[in-house]
Amino acid sequence: MRWWAAALILAAALSPRAAAQGPEGGCQAPILSMPDAPHTFAPGDAYSLSFAIENPNVPPIDSVRAQLITTAPSGWSVVPAQRELTLGPKNVSFDALTITAPNRGGGEPSGNITLHVTFVCTTGDTLTSSSADATIPVVLETFQAPWPVLLTAFALLALLVGVVGLRRLQQGVAIVPGRLEREVAPGKSVKYTFRVENRRGKPQRFTLLGVGVPEGWSLHLALDEVELEPGEEKSLWAVLKCAPEAPLGASAAITLRLESPRGAREGTSATLLAKVAQGA
């Protein structure tokens, strides 16, 4: 005997009766042991629900013939593996219901499946009957937006927008290079263009510096000091001259820095890259 069959026999012995037994000496009603079905069904999903039918009758009843009738909400399907079976006295038989949910929009979203089992008892030439019912509630899954996930995503997006906005507000000036990386031949010069922006609603004055110029190289700036009206932009340039003895493949990273008299928080910087190449 399979383990699940033994479990259903034990459940049948311990669980409440699905229907009251018939009168003493008559055709006793079937005892149904039904495990719980899933709480919800996905649209179009099928599920096999095993259950047990116990015959509590004893001699002189020779046998019972069990007949199964099922009903289901509109659009749902419930099919027993066996619609008729015969059980001897104090016998247990096992069956299964295949429950199939409708596709979304194709049936009732919820309801009850009922299983009606009728016993026809045989005592010599005499036939008597009894019955029992079991009810299985079914619900079709409905789409539910994952609100916790969506709310978390919205919160993170709002935080990111706030941080970007705060950084832009705090950074009242910007350097926007036209081209960050250039090639330069030994002993030759290369020109960089860039734009400075005043993002504050008041005039600002900055000192423009070149930091990190390698030994033997030189950097010439269009302006050493930059004054900007509220919202004003200025296009500037810087010329970098490569050392004559710089080896091919060498590189230099020069930082353009705008410094405010009020401190580094009011300034900004950008890095220009130069690579030594033959004939550049």
List the CATH number of the domain containing 200: 2.60.40.2310
Torsion angle of the four alpha carbons 12, 18, 20, 22, in this order, in degrees rounded to the nearest 10: -70
Are 81 and 192 contained in the same domain?
A: no
Judge if 95 and 175 occupy the same domain: no
Residue-level pLDDT at 159: 66
- Give me the pLDDT at residue 147, please: 53
Q: Are residues 115 and 177 in the same domain?
A: no
Same domain flag for 13 and 120: yes
134 and 258, same domain (yes or no): no
Q: Which domain holds residue 181?
A: 170-276
CATH code of the domain covering residue 32: 2.60.40.10
Which residues lie closer than 8 Å to 148 by C-beta, 6 or more apart? none
Q: Which residues of 189-211 are buried (b: 16+ CB within 10 A; e: fewer)?
A: ebebebebbbbeeeebebebebe
Shared domain check, 192 and 65:
no
User: Are residues 195 and 271 located together in one domain of the fold?
Assistant: yes
Residue 149 lies in a domain: no
Per the CB < 8 A criterion, the answer to whether 240 and 192 are in contact is yes
Q: Is residue 121 part of a domain?
A: yes
Under 8 Å CB-to-CB from 139, ≥6 apart: which residues? 39, 40, 41, 109, 110
Instruction: Say what the pTM is.
Output: 0.46
Question: Does 132 lie in the same domain as 258?
Answer: no
* Statement to judge: residues 131 and 11 lie in one domain: yes
**Euclidean distance between CA atoms 217 and 239, whole angstroms:** 11
Tell me the pLDDT of the chain (280 aa) as tens digits: 444 444 444 444 434 444 333 444 689 999 999 888 887 899 999 999 999 999 999 999 989 999 999 999 999 999 999 999 999 999 999 999 999 999 987 889 999 999 999 999 998 889 999 999 999 999 998 744 455 655 676 667 766 655 444 444 445 788 888 888 889 999 999 999 999 998 888 898 888 889 989 999 999 998 888 888 998 888 999 999 999 999 998 989 999 988 877 654 567 888 899 999 987 6
pLDDT score at 21: 38
- Domain tally for the chain? 2
